[in-house]
Amino acid sequence: MSYGIMPYRVNLERLSTRFGNPKSNKRSKARLACKEAVRGMDDDEDVSFDEIIKEMIDEAKASHENLGYMYWYALKGLIEDLGSFMTNSSWYPASCDIFYDSKDITLYDIDSPMDIPTPDDFPTVFVFRKENMKEENIADLLNSLEDSDQKREFNHWIEEAKRYKQDLVLYYH
């Protein structure tokens, strides 16, 4: 099985308003987006994805510390719904090591109103915030890439995120 980067550009401020939103139509849409992302995935033996999604979206809480992966896979649906998936042909399959080494890219940092548990395994979620997309930071990241196709594609993600004043969320799984 190969692992790769699934890149999304999304407004993290807007995303954070979907947790515990008092408007029932927004909650319903957010729940549906999360359910779509986990369709066909196995639930934990004791906790269902429906329970995880309801807790996260309706109540803005995450109480199952050992089930971080369920929250982050469900959350991917909301990111897909509010954001845009970008071309990743040069990043699937690929290593994600360069993102661990960057001081400008964080892990699991989406500004949710609650602490979402970190998964023990996958998915790994890297965040490149729009305020960190400065020319010197971008140049450092691009210089650390050896593959010219990955470099071109990564630069495209950044340029598109900047054009739309959005952040990059990179799922690695």
Cis status, amide bond into 7, omega within 30 of 0: no
What pLDDT score was predicted for residue 49? 97
Half-sphere exposure of 64 (CA within 13 A, CB side): 20
Break the chain into its structural domains and give their ranges.
5-172
Mean pLDDT, contiguous 10-residue spans, the chain (173 residues)? 91 96 92 96 92 96 96 98 97 93 95 95 97 95 95 97 98 97
Which segments of 38-67 does DSSP mark as H helices, in order? 49-59
Which amino acid does the sequence have at 34? C
Using DSSP's 3-state secondary structure scheme, residue 172 falls into strand
- How big is the CA angle at 115 (ends 158 and 53), to the nearest 5 degrees? 85
pTM: 0.95
Q: Alpha-carbon distance 48 to 102, whole Å?
A: 35
